[in-house]
Amino acid sequence: MTHLEVRDLSPEFGAEIIGFDPKAPLDDATRDELRHLFDTRRLLLFRNMDLSHEEQARICTMLIRKGEAETIEAMGSRESFISNKLDDGVAPFGRLQFHGDTMWADNPYQVLSLYGADVGNPVAPTTFVDAVSAWKTLPDDLRRRAEGHEVLQTAGAVRRGDMSSVLLTEVENPPSTVTRINYTHPRTGETVLHICEQMTKNVLGMPEAESEELLTSLFKHLYRADRQLEHNWRKGDFVVFDNIALQHSRGRVTKEGPARTLRKVASPMPRLRPDQMPRWKAEAA
Ligand SMILES: O=C(O)CCC(=O)C(=O)O
Ligand SMILES: [Fe+2]
């Protein structure tokens, strides 16, 4: 068994793992330890990695107990980069508010990972918060007001709070889904405070002002500065995280700034009906 050194990144979540070699055969005990760390720490950081797309995808699926033999073809994972330099780079500029990727889908990604393929200095960090510990620590009065209510999660642009330099992607036919605010995590069974500033439009069956007031109070708790974990990128960093338990945001990126190219792999792909496929329009800051 490989000896892994584990360093917690914050009291609630996140761990840096030292001593893992993604190119070596994975024995059962090491695999079980990594799965346990992923379930309990929700974000794992590996530094100084030399990781292919295939290796990145294999770690993602292994952590959520999908067949280890699953290939990137079977995952439907095209190699894709968040980048301010590549011609086909995703989210090439601007700031991103807190979100979970595909939170607007009926079966959102369970795991998301970013690998620092080309990283200059300084570049904008990615910041994480933990929506499981946020639910656990919610004050009783807020929990009573929120529990059982449903919200609309949409891929359409939601505008709230400070929108300066936020990258807004216009979607012609935004897909959406309805979920409970107290959402049951599909793998761990834990309760997640399942709302985000970027994609949660409103609380169903509540007057608009009351809905926004409740969401704002919940966001204040969820995004409290002392719950945020900032990741400052270096080339070769590999961050893999639970996309349902955690949310992420990022600071402002510019096309002129130092290179910031992160390979993104998610699993499993949500199954969308053809009429749910978003048609992205222009991106505007
Ligand atoms: O650029 C980042 O740090 C995160 C990007 C992101 O959130 C995304 O592409 O979904
Ligand atoms: Fe994202």
- For 45, the token pair is 């950081």
- Could you list which residues have their CB under 5 Å from ion ligand 2? 101
Give the ligand whose atoms come closest to the C-alpha of residue 262: 1
Distance CA 46, CA 21 (A): 10
Residue pair 141/56 in contact (Cβ under 8 Å)? The answer is: no
pTM comes to 0.94
To test the pocket of ligand 1, the residue of 126, 237, 239 to mutate (highest count of ligand atoms within 8 Å of its CB) is 126
Q: How far apart are the first and last CA of the chain?
A: 49
Residue 175 has pLDDT above 50, yes or no: yes
| CA 207–ligand 1 middle distance (angstroms) | 32
At residue 260 the predicted structure's pLDDT band, cuts being 50, 70 and 90, is very high
- pLDDT exceeds 90 at position 117: yes
What is the CATH T-level fold of the domain 5-269, as seen in this structure? Double-stranded beta-helix (3.60.130)
DSSP classification of residue 274: G
Could you identify the atom of ligand 1 that is nearest to the CA of residue 253? 1
Collapsed DSSP state (helix, strand, coil) of residue 209: helix
The model's confidence at residue 27, banded by pLDDT at 50, 70 and 90, is very high
Check: CB of residue 184 under 8 Å from CB of residue 193: no
pLDDT of residue 214: 98
Ligand 1 pocket, residue 229 CB under 6 Å: no
**62 phi and psi, to 5 degrees?**
-60, -40
Q: Which atom of ligand 1 is nearest to the CA of 264?
A: 9
Segments making up each domain of the chain, as ranges: 5-269
Q: Is the pLDDT of residue 58 over 60?
A: yes
Q: Is the pLDDT of residue 285 over 50?
A: no
User: Angle at Cα 144 formed by Cα 139 and Cα 150, nearest 5°?
Assistant: 115
Q: Which ligand is nearest to the CA of 167?
A: 1
Give me the amino acid identity at 67. G
Q: Which residues contact 79 (CB under 8 A, 6 or more apart)?
A: 53, 263
